[in-house]
Amino acid sequence: MNILSPSILSADCARLGEQIHLTEEAGAKYLHIDIMDGAFVPSLSYGLCVVESLRKATNLFFDVHLMVVNPIRYVEHFAEAGADLLTVHLEACEDVAATLDAIHANGMKTGLALKPQTAINELEPYLDKTDMILVMAVNPGFGGQKYIENTTERIREARLLVEKSGLPIDIEVDGGINGKNVRSVMEAGANVIVSGSAIFNGDITENTRTLMKVLEEEEILLSKQEKK
C-alpha cells in the first residue's frame, strides 16, 4: 500500500496541530516526525514532549525518524510518548539487532534507515527484524534539500533485496521529494513517501492532494500489473 508521510520539519511549529489536520483531511495516513540530536546530525529539532502533545491532537500513525546516536537509550520513552513506528539509523546503533528487538518489545514497528553513502546490502542481516527500510535521498539533518539522483537506483536495489527475502517490508524514501519526482521513486519501489517542504511551504491542502493523487494512481497501476 502507498502511504504519504508528511514531515513536520517544515511546518509552522506554532500551528502544528492545525497544519497536521490539513494533511490528514487531504489523505495523509502517517506523520513523519524527525528527531535530531546535534551529534548524529548537526542540527537539533524537537523531542519527546512534542510527540506526546501531538499524540493528543491526532490519530495519524506516528512515523518517528530518530537521527540520534545510540538510539536504544530512547526506545521506551518514544513508545510511552505515542510513537507507532521507530526508525533508527544503521550507522548510529551500537547494536542494530538489539535496537530493533527493543523497538518490537515495546510494541512499535521497526524502521532501519541508511544515509546516502551507506551500501544497501548492509541491511541484509537485519531484514527479518525490519518492518520498513528508510532510504535517505539527502544527507540527514535539514529539510528543503535537493534529491540526490542515485537514490532511485538505491531504492531499486532495496526493493530487490526485499523481494528476494519474501518479507513484507515497506520501503520509505525521505528527502527532496516533490510532485516532480514522486512518481519515479514509487516506480523504483518506494511505497512510503516522506515530504516536508513540498507540503508545508505554500498551500498545504493543495500540496498534499497533488502528492496523494500520484500515490493513488500508482496504487491502481500496481494492482492492474499484479492481476496480469
Q: Which residues are catalytic?
A: 34, 174
Residue numbers 181-200 binding Zn ion by CB under 5 A: none
First to last CA, the chain: 18
Min CB(34)–ligand DX5 separation in Å: 5
Residues 6+ apart with CB under 8 A from 216: 2
Which of 2, 19, 22, 34 forms a contact with Zn ion (CB under 5 A)?
A: 34
Least distance CB 113 / Zn ion (angstroms):
8
Residue matched to cell numbers 535537493: 146
Residue number of the CB atom closest to Zn ion:
65
143 binding partner (options Zn ion, ligand DX5, none; Cβ < 5 to 8 Å by kind): ligand DX5
Asked if 145 touches ligand DX5 (CB under 6 A), the answer is yes
The rounded distance, in Å, linking the Cα atoms of 111 and 201 is: 27
Q: Closer to ligand DX5 at the Cβ: 111 or 175? A: 175
170-199 positions binding ligand DX5, by CB under 6 A = 174-177, 194-198
Return the residues of window 55-74 that contact ligand DX5 according to CB under 6 A: 65
Judged by the rule CB under 6 A, the positions of this chain that interact with ligand DX5 are 7, 9-10, 32, 34, 65, 138, 140-145, 174-177, 194-198
